A = this chain, B = another copy of it.
Amino acid sequence: MPLRKVGIKGIRMPISFTRLGSKRVLLVPSFDVFIDLPPDRKGIDASRSYEAVADVFSMFAKRTYRLEDLCALIANELLNRHEYATRAEVKARAEAVVERTTPKSSISTFEPYKVYAKAVSRLIEGSVHTYRMVGVKVVGVTACPCVMEGIKELSKTELAEALGIHGLDPKLLDVLPIATHMQRSEGFLLMDSPEGYDVDVSKLIDIVEGAMSAPTYELLKRVDEVEIVLRAVSNARFVEDSIRFMAKGLVETFKELPDETKVLLAQRSEESIHKHDMVAIRKATLGGLRRELFSLNEE
């Protein structure tokens, strides 16, 4: 019986270097590696899979590399060392802690981002075909537009009563829509990194961060807090909206990437007024997103 994927989950490697835009950052990556197994083989030689990771890592750890390229090197090495395998898959995840600047007070702050990469190598008629993917997970804040709408739809009498109950100033009657719930939210973007193009991880981070109501920072002085809250209420967005802004950001940023580039967009909000999370997910190609946004602009 053939098996599609046999392998090792959770291989930890020491610190290595990658690039975010013009910055060189350090990562501690964790790898999952798999090969396929033909019907006539009882099991894989797991130690060879580990060695493929460790050897590639040892050769390249001191250079600056793209995480998806490292995955591709490992995938090819897996095929080399398992002569019976025709498909090798390598997934990597790591956290990059990057120095940023607070929005108003301009002080140093260190922000964590998750970085993902994947490579699949296939042996087809004697030659190896490899594709790469790269992705990020970014935490930000979303402010909910629905409560703002809800408040607008209440009659003055209902609102006055509600304000009275809650001991709030009646002057709030005109401007109440600015009160809404916010929450920690997490955007995820995974996409093809086609051969010959440079998909810059720092641009992915900017796209996902910019698709939420506001970015978040580990350090915020009071002026920064006010800034972030005002920015969030001015950009109130549903999880559905974050997906749309990610799509727009992708189309505008990666003009040179081919239409068939596959993308996966997801947003998850830890709703502050609920105990559950809201989620929106979209799978598409860059070409599909381009057509949708073009027809939207036409209207």
> Quick one: CB contact mask for A150-175 with B, threshold 8 Å, 1 for yes?
11011000000011011111011011
Q: Is the CB of A1 within 8 A of B175?
A: no
Residues of B within 8 A of A42 (CB): 238, 240-241
Instruction: Give the interface size class of chain A.
Output: 35 or more
Contact flag A223-B150 (CB < 8 Å), given A1-B243, A111-B275, A112-B12: yes
Residues of B within 8 A of A150 (CB): 222-223, 225-226
A5 CA / B168 CA spacing, docked (Å): 32
Query: Is A232 engaged at the interface, CB distance under 8 Å to the other chain?
Result: yes
The segment out of A68-76, A78-86, A115-123, A180-188 that lies at the interface is A180-188
Query: Is A217 engaged at the interface, CB distance under 8 Å to the other chain?
Result: yes
The segment out of A45-53, A124-132, A196-204 that lies at the interface is A45-53
Give the Cβ gap from A246 to chain B, nearest Cβ, in Å: 10
Q: Is the CB of A166 within 8 A of B230?
A: yes
- Tell me which of B10, B146, B147 contacts A43 (CB under 8 A): B146
